[in-house]
Amino acid sequence: MSIPTYGDFDFQTVVDTYDPKLADLQPHHHRHGLTLQVQYFYGTLRDSDGVTWALERKFIGPMTGGVWLMNDASGDLNLHVGALTSARGESIRTIEPSKRVWRNHLMHTMSEKFGVASEPMELAIDDEGIRWSEGELFDLAGPLQGPGFQFYAPARDEPLFYSTQVYWVTGTIGGKPAEGFVGLDNGYWTHGVEWKEYRYFRDLEVSWEVFGNKFTDGSIEYGVIVKGRRGWSGAATFESGKLIAKTDQVGAVYDLDDEGFINSINFDIGGQGYTFTGGETGRMHHFGEARWGNYTSQGGVTRRVGDARELDFGYSWIEFFPTRITADGLTSG
Protein backbone atom coordinates (compact mmCIF):
# COMPACT_ATOMS: atom_id res chain seq x y z
CA MET A 1 0.00 0.00 0.00
CA SER A 2 1.39 3.39 -0.99
CA ILE A 3 1.47 5.91 1.86
CA PRO A 4 1.35 9.66 0.97
CA THR A 5 4.24 11.86 2.00
CA TYR A 6 3.88 14.59 4.61
CA GLY A 7 1.47 17.32 3.48
CA ASP A 8 0.14 15.27 0.55
CA PHE A 9 -3.45 14.02 0.16
CA ASP A 10 -3.05 11.78 -2.88
CA PHE A 11 -5.16 14.10 -5.09
CA GLN A 12 -8.31 13.73 -2.99
CA THR A 13 -10.74 16.47 -3.96
CA VAL A 14 -12.85 19.04 -2.15
CA VAL A 15 -16.08 19.64 -4.09
CA ASP A 16 -18.77 22.29 -3.75
CA THR A 17 -20.96 24.82 -5.55
CA TYR A 18 -20.32 28.58 -5.67
CA ASP A 19 -22.11 31.85 -6.36
CA PRO A 20 -20.57 33.04 -9.68
CA LYS A 21 -19.92 36.72 -9.02
CA LEU A 22 -17.20 38.26 -11.16
CA ALA A 23 -15.89 40.29 -8.24
CA ASP A 24 -14.63 36.94 -6.88
CA LEU A 25 -13.07 35.97 -10.24
CA GLN A 26 -10.56 38.77 -10.71
CA PRO A 27 -7.60 37.51 -12.81
CA HIS A 28 -5.01 38.73 -10.29
CA HIS A 29 -6.59 36.95 -7.32
CA HIS A 30 -4.89 33.90 -5.85
CA ARG A 31 -6.95 30.88 -4.83
CA HIS A 32 -5.35 28.53 -2.28
CA GLY A 33 -2.00 30.04 -3.22
CA LEU A 34 -2.54 29.31 -6.92
CA THR A 35 -2.78 31.79 -9.79
CA LEU A 36 -5.20 31.81 -12.72
CA GLN A 37 -3.53 29.91 -15.56
CA VAL A 38 -6.29 29.49 -18.14
CA GLN A 39 -9.86 30.39 -19.05
CA TYR A 40 -11.93 28.32 -21.47
CA PHE A 41 -15.17 29.37 -23.15
CA TYR A 42 -16.84 26.47 -24.93
CA GLY A 43 -20.22 25.03 -25.76
CA THR A 44 -22.52 23.07 -28.03
CA LEU A 45 -25.51 24.32 -30.01
CA ARG A 46 -28.10 23.13 -32.50
CA ASP A 47 -29.06 25.34 -35.44
CA SER A 48 -32.42 25.62 -37.21
CA ASP A 49 -31.37 22.98 -39.76
CA GLY A 50 -30.66 20.45 -36.99
CA VAL A 51 -26.86 20.73 -37.34
CA THR A 52 -24.91 20.45 -34.08
CA TRP A 53 -22.04 22.88 -33.48
CA ALA A 54 -19.25 22.82 -30.90
CA LEU A 55 -16.95 25.75 -30.12
CA GLU A 56 -14.06 26.44 -27.79
CA ARG A 57 -11.82 29.44 -27.16
CA LYS A 58 -8.89 29.32 -24.74
CA PHE A 59 -7.37 32.41 -23.08
CA ILE A 60 -4.05 32.52 -21.28
CA GLY A 61 -4.12 36.04 -19.92
CA PRO A 62 -5.14 38.24 -22.92
CA MET A 63 -3.69 35.76 -25.43
CA THR A 64 -5.85 33.40 -27.48
CA GLY A 65 -5.12 30.93 -30.27
CA GLY A 66 -8.45 31.10 -32.10
CA VAL A 67 -11.78 29.28 -31.94
CA TRP A 68 -12.12 25.53 -32.33
CA LEU A 69 -15.33 25.62 -34.38
CA MET A 70 -16.84 22.26 -35.35
CA ASN A 71 -20.11 20.92 -36.72
CA ASP A 72 -21.52 17.50 -37.60
CA ALA A 73 -22.63 18.25 -41.18
CA SER A 74 -20.00 15.75 -42.41
CA GLY A 75 -21.35 12.95 -40.20
CA ASP A 76 -18.86 13.53 -37.39
CA LEU A 77 -18.23 16.60 -35.24
CA ASN A 78 -15.26 17.93 -37.20
CA LEU A 79 -13.46 21.20 -37.80
CA HIS A 80 -15.30 23.94 -39.70
CA VAL A 81 -13.22 26.06 -42.09
CA GLY A 82 -14.33 29.21 -40.26
CA ALA A 83 -12.01 28.26 -37.40
CA LEU A 84 -9.06 29.25 -39.61
CA THR A 85 -10.20 32.88 -39.85
CA SER A 86 -11.17 33.27 -36.19
CA ALA A 87 -9.50 35.83 -33.95
CA ARG A 88 -6.12 34.98 -32.53
CA GLY A 89 -3.30 36.79 -30.78
CA GLU A 90 -3.42 39.43 -28.08
CA SER A 91 -6.78 40.90 -27.06
CA ILE A 92 -7.62 44.05 -25.15
CA ARG A 93 -9.26 43.21 -21.85
CA THR A 94 -11.63 45.39 -19.86
CA ILE A 95 -11.59 44.16 -16.27
CA GLU A 96 -14.15 45.59 -13.87
CA PRO A 97 -15.55 44.13 -10.63
CA SER A 98 -18.78 42.99 -12.30
CA LYS A 99 -17.86 42.98 -16.00
CA ARG A 100 -15.21 41.42 -18.24
CA VAL A 101 -14.66 42.08 -21.98
CA TRP A 102 -12.17 40.71 -24.54
CA ARG A 103 -12.00 42.49 -27.92
CA ASN A 104 -9.85 44.02 -30.70
CA HIS A 105 -7.26 41.29 -30.98
CA LEU A 106 -3.93 42.30 -32.48
CA MET A 107 -3.93 39.93 -35.47
CA HIS A 108 -7.35 41.12 -36.65
CA THR A 109 -6.20 44.74 -36.44
CA MET A 110 -3.34 43.96 -38.83
CA SER A 111 -5.15 41.50 -41.12
CA GLU A 112 -6.76 44.11 -43.40
CA LYS A 113 -3.36 45.71 -44.06
CA PHE A 114 -2.09 42.42 -45.49
CA GLY A 115 -5.32 41.25 -47.12
CA VAL A 116 -5.69 38.29 -44.77
CA ALA A 117 -9.18 37.03 -43.87
CA SER A 118 -10.00 37.52 -40.18
CA GLU A 119 -13.15 37.78 -38.11
CA PRO A 120 -13.57 40.31 -35.28
CA MET A 121 -14.13 39.10 -31.72
CA GLU A 122 -15.99 40.55 -28.78
CA LEU A 123 -16.70 38.46 -25.71
CA ALA A 124 -18.36 40.03 -22.67
CA ILE A 125 -19.60 38.58 -19.39
CA ASP A 126 -21.22 40.13 -16.36
CA ASP A 127 -23.04 38.76 -13.33
CA GLU A 128 -26.18 38.19 -15.39
CA GLY A 129 -24.98 36.56 -18.61
CA ILE A 130 -22.74 36.39 -21.65
CA ARG A 131 -22.49 37.91 -25.13
CA TRP A 132 -20.06 36.19 -27.52
CA SER A 133 -19.64 37.48 -31.06
CA GLU A 134 -17.13 36.26 -33.67
CA GLY A 135 -18.09 38.24 -36.79
CA GLU A 136 -19.70 36.11 -39.48
CA LEU A 137 -19.02 32.90 -37.55
CA PHE A 138 -21.49 33.30 -34.70
CA ASP A 139 -23.23 35.78 -32.42
CA LEU A 140 -24.63 34.37 -29.14
CA ALA A 141 -26.03 35.72 -25.90
CA GLY A 142 -27.84 34.38 -22.88
CA PRO A 143 -28.25 34.28 -19.11
CA LEU A 144 -26.16 32.62 -16.42
CA GLN A 145 -27.99 29.52 -15.20
CA GLY A 146 -27.26 29.55 -11.48
CA PRO A 147 -24.58 28.17 -9.16
CA GLY A 148 -21.21 27.10 -10.48
CA PHE A 149 -19.16 23.98 -9.74
CA GLN A 150 -15.76 24.18 -8.02
CA PHE A 151 -13.26 21.60 -6.88
CA TYR A 152 -9.83 21.68 -5.27
CA ALA A 153 -7.19 18.97 -5.09
CA PRO A 154 -4.73 19.97 -2.31
CA ALA A 155 -1.85 17.86 -3.58
CA ARG A 156 1.50 18.89 -2.15
CA ASP A 157 3.43 19.28 -5.41
CA GLU A 158 0.69 19.50 -8.08
CA PRO A 159 -2.40 21.19 -6.62
CA LEU A 160 -5.40 22.19 -8.71
CA PHE A 161 -8.33 24.55 -8.20
CA TYR A 162 -10.93 24.62 -10.98
CA SER A 163 -14.38 26.11 -11.53
CA THR A 164 -17.16 25.92 -14.13
CA GLN A 165 -20.25 28.05 -14.69
CA VAL A 166 -22.88 27.58 -17.40
CA TYR A 167 -24.95 29.89 -19.63
CA TRP A 168 -27.88 29.07 -21.93
CA VAL A 169 -27.54 31.05 -25.17
CA THR A 170 -29.44 31.83 -28.35
CA GLY A 171 -28.40 33.68 -31.50
CA THR A 172 -26.93 32.71 -34.84
CA ILE A 173 -24.15 30.38 -35.92
CA GLY A 174 -23.14 29.79 -39.53
CA GLY A 175 -25.90 32.25 -40.48
CA LYS A 176 -28.64 30.10 -38.88
CA PRO A 177 -30.64 30.61 -35.68
CA ALA A 178 -29.20 28.44 -32.92
CA GLU A 179 -29.55 27.55 -29.25
CA GLY A 180 -27.46 25.70 -26.69
CA PHE A 181 -25.15 26.00 -23.71
CA VAL A 182 -21.84 27.76 -23.15
CA GLY A 183 -19.50 26.98 -20.26
CA LEU A 184 -16.77 29.10 -18.69
CA ASP A 185 -13.91 27.33 -16.92
CA ASN A 186 -11.27 28.97 -14.73
CA GLY A 187 -8.18 26.87 -14.00
CA TYR A 188 -5.62 27.57 -11.26
CA TRP A 189 -2.46 25.50 -10.85
CA THR A 190 1.31 25.72 -10.51
CA HIS A 191 2.56 28.73 -12.44
CA GLY A 192 4.66 28.06 -15.52
CA VAL A 193 3.16 24.67 -16.37
CA GLU A 194 0.78 24.28 -19.32
CA TRP A 195 -2.29 22.07 -18.75
CA LYS A 196 -1.14 19.32 -21.09
CA GLU A 197 2.15 19.17 -19.16
CA TYR A 198 0.39 18.84 -15.81
CA ARG A 199 -0.12 15.46 -14.16
CA TYR A 200 -3.90 15.66 -14.37
CA PHE A 201 -3.81 15.61 -18.18
CA ARG A 202 -0.78 13.31 -18.42
CA ASP A 203 -1.96 10.63 -16.00
CA LEU A 204 -4.87 11.30 -13.63
CA GLU A 205 -7.81 12.26 -15.85
CA VAL A 206 -10.08 9.42 -16.99
CA SER A 207 -13.01 11.48 -18.30
CA TRP A 208 -14.37 15.00 -17.93
CA GLU A 209 -17.72 16.16 -19.21
CA VAL A 210 -19.95 19.22 -19.11
CA PHE A 211 -23.58 18.90 -20.18
CA GLY A 212 -26.64 21.08 -20.71
CA ASN A 213 -30.23 19.94 -21.25
CA LYS A 214 -33.30 22.00 -22.09
CA PHE A 215 -36.64 20.23 -21.67
CA THR A 216 -39.86 20.92 -23.54
CA ASP A 217 -41.28 22.57 -20.40
CA GLY A 218 -38.48 25.17 -20.60
CA SER A 219 -36.48 23.98 -17.58
CA ILE A 220 -32.71 23.70 -17.94
CA GLU A 221 -30.44 21.08 -16.37
CA TYR A 222 -26.64 21.25 -16.40
CA GLY A 223 -23.70 19.64 -14.73
CA VAL A 224 -20.02 18.70 -14.60
CA ILE A 225 -18.77 15.13 -14.10
CA VAL A 226 -15.04 14.49 -13.60
CA LYS A 227 -13.72 10.96 -13.13
CA GLY A 228 -10.05 10.62 -12.26
CA ARG A 229 -7.45 8.47 -10.59
CA ARG A 230 -5.84 8.54 -7.13
CA GLY A 231 -8.85 10.15 -5.41
CA TRP A 232 -9.23 12.96 -7.95
CA SER A 233 -12.92 13.08 -8.90
CA GLY A 234 -15.86 15.41 -8.51
CA ALA A 235 -19.29 16.18 -9.91
CA ALA A 236 -22.31 18.41 -9.42
CA THR A 237 -25.58 18.67 -11.33
CA PHE A 238 -28.20 21.40 -11.25
CA GLU A 239 -31.69 22.12 -12.54
CA SER A 240 -33.38 25.53 -12.68
CA GLY A 241 -30.63 26.97 -10.50
CA LYS A 242 -30.88 24.34 -7.75
CA LEU A 243 -28.37 21.65 -6.81
CA ILE A 244 -29.55 18.11 -7.65
CA ALA A 245 -26.51 15.93 -6.89
CA LYS A 246 -22.92 16.41 -5.72
CA THR A 247 -20.00 14.14 -4.85
CA ASP A 248 -16.22 13.90 -4.55
CA GLN A 249 -16.34 10.15 -5.35
CA VAL A 250 -17.64 9.60 -8.90
CA GLY A 251 -18.57 6.06 -9.86
CA ALA A 252 -18.32 5.28 -13.59
CA VAL A 253 -18.68 2.22 -15.81
CA TYR A 254 -17.85 2.71 -19.51
CA ASP A 255 -18.94 0.84 -22.62
CA LEU A 256 -16.44 1.51 -25.43
CA ASP A 257 -16.67 0.57 -29.08
CA ASP A 258 -13.85 -1.01 -31.11
CA GLU A 259 -12.27 2.39 -31.88
CA GLY A 260 -12.27 3.51 -28.25
CA PHE A 261 -15.23 5.89 -28.52
CA ILE A 262 -17.99 5.73 -25.93
CA ASN A 263 -21.24 3.88 -26.47
CA SER A 264 -22.46 4.70 -22.98
CA ILE A 265 -21.40 5.49 -19.40
CA ASN A 266 -23.24 4.82 -16.17
CA PHE A 267 -22.32 7.43 -13.55
CA ASP A 268 -23.04 7.37 -9.82
CA ILE A 269 -23.11 10.90 -8.37
CA GLY A 270 -23.71 10.63 -4.65
CA GLY A 271 -26.28 7.86 -5.15
CA GLN A 272 -27.99 9.53 -8.12
CA GLY A 273 -27.50 7.77 -11.43
CA TYR A 274 -26.77 9.52 -14.73
CA THR A 275 -26.26 7.92 -18.13
CA PHE A 276 -24.18 9.34 -20.97
CA THR A 277 -25.04 8.07 -24.46
CA GLY A 278 -22.64 8.78 -27.31
CA GLY A 279 -24.16 10.66 -30.25
CA GLU A 280 -24.21 9.11 -33.71
CA THR A 281 -22.43 12.19 -35.10
CA GLY A 282 -20.54 13.13 -31.95
CA ARG A 283 -17.02 11.89 -32.66
CA MET A 284 -14.56 14.81 -32.58
CA HIS A 285 -11.83 13.30 -34.72
CA HIS A 286 -9.99 16.53 -35.52
CA PHE A 287 -10.16 17.83 -31.95
CA GLY A 288 -8.57 14.65 -30.62
CA GLU A 289 -6.01 14.32 -33.40
CA ALA A 290 -4.63 17.78 -32.56
CA ARG A 291 -3.73 16.53 -29.07
CA TRP A 292 -1.75 13.60 -27.70
CA GLY A 293 -1.64 10.98 -24.97
CA ASN A 294 -4.67 9.06 -26.35
CA TYR A 295 -6.87 12.11 -25.61
CA THR A 296 -10.31 11.63 -27.21
CA SER A 297 -13.36 13.90 -27.39
CA GLN A 298 -16.97 13.17 -28.17
CA GLY A 299 -20.48 14.57 -28.00
CA GLY A 300 -23.60 12.88 -26.70
CA VAL A 301 -26.46 13.26 -24.25
CA THR A 302 -26.50 12.83 -20.46
CA ARG A 303 -29.76 12.01 -18.67
CA ARG A 304 -30.67 11.53 -15.04
CA VAL A 305 -31.76 7.95 -14.40
CA GLY A 306 -35.52 7.80 -13.96
CA ASP A 307 -36.17 11.16 -15.67
CA ALA A 308 -38.47 10.47 -18.62
CA ARG A 309 -39.17 14.09 -19.60
CA GLU A 310 -38.84 14.99 -23.27
CA LEU A 311 -35.74 16.92 -24.30
CA ASP A 312 -36.00 19.97 -26.50
CA PHE A 313 -32.21 19.99 -26.90
CA GLY A 314 -29.51 18.35 -24.86
CA TYR A 315 -25.82 17.86 -25.37
CA SER A 316 -22.75 16.71 -23.47
CA TRP A 317 -19.13 17.44 -24.36
CA ILE A 318 -16.88 14.75 -22.91
CA GLU A 319 -13.12 14.29 -23.12
CA PHE A 320 -11.59 11.01 -22.04
CA PHE A 321 -8.64 8.63 -22.30
CA PRO A 322 -9.72 5.18 -23.57
CA THR A 323 -6.46 3.46 -22.61
CA ARG A 324 -6.83 4.64 -18.99
CA ILE A 325 -10.43 3.44 -18.89
CA THR A 326 -9.42 -0.07 -19.95
CA ALA A 327 -6.23 -0.11 -17.87
CA ASP A 328 -8.22 0.75 -14.75
CA GLY A 329 -10.83 -1.94 -15.42
CA LEU A 330 -13.70 0.53 -15.74
CA THR A 331 -15.40 -1.10 -18.75
CA SER A 332 -18.62 -3.08 -18.60
CA GLY A 333 -17.29 -5.94 -20.74
How far is the C-alpha of 280 from the C-alpha of 171, rounded, in Å?
Answer: 25
Query: How many domains does the chain contain in total?
Result: 1
In a domain, 53, yes or no: yes
In a domain, 5, yes or no: no
Report pLDDT for 112. 73
pTM of the model as a whole: 0.96
Does residue 242 carry a pLDDT above 80? yes
Mean predicted confidence (pLDDT) in 168-172: 98
Mean predicted confidence (pLDDT) in 234-240: 97
Report pLDDT for 117. 76
Report pLDDT for 57. 97
Of 98-107, 112-121, 131-140, 145-154, least confident by mean pLDDT is 112-121
- Please give the residue that has the higher pLDDT: either 267 or 4: 267
In a domain, 8, yes or no: no
In a domain, 232, yes or no: yes
Going by pLDDT thresholds of 50, 70 and 90, the confidence category of residue 1 is low
Report pLDDT for 2. 74
Does residue 86 carry a pLDDT above 70? yes
Mean predicted confidence (pLDDT) in 197-208: 96
Q: How many angstroms separate the Cα of 50 from the Cα of each of 229, 286, 313?
A: 37, 21, 10
Mean pLDDT over the full length of the chain? 94
Does residue 260 carry a pLDDT above 80? yes
Name the helix (H) or strand (E) containing 79.
strand 78-79
In our burial notation (b when 16+ CB lie closer than 10 A, e otherwise), range 208-241 reads bbbbbbbbeeeebbbbbbbbbbbbbbbbbbbbee
Angle made by CA atoms 239, 48, 178, in degrees to the nearest 5: 50
pLDDT tens, position by position, 262-299: 999 999 999 999 999 999 999 999 999 989 899 999 99
pLDDT tens, position by position, 106-137: 777 777 777 777 889 999 999 999 999 999 99
In a domain, 163, yes or no: yes
Beta bridge partners of 182: 43, 167
Question: What contacts 41, CB < 8 A, 6 or more positions away?
Answer: 56, 57, 59, 123, 132, 182, 183, 184
In a domain, 283, yes or no: yes
Tell me the residue range of the domain where 124 lies.
14-327
Question: What contacts 88, CB < 8 A, 6 or more positions away?
Answer: 64, 65, 66, 105, 107
Report pLDDT for 123. 97
pLDDT tens, position by position, 203-229: 999 999 999 999 999 999 999 999 999
Does residue 309 carry a pLDDT above 90? yes
Mean predicted confidence (pLDDT) in 170-195: 96
In a domain, 1, yes or no: no
In a domain, 214, yes or no: yes
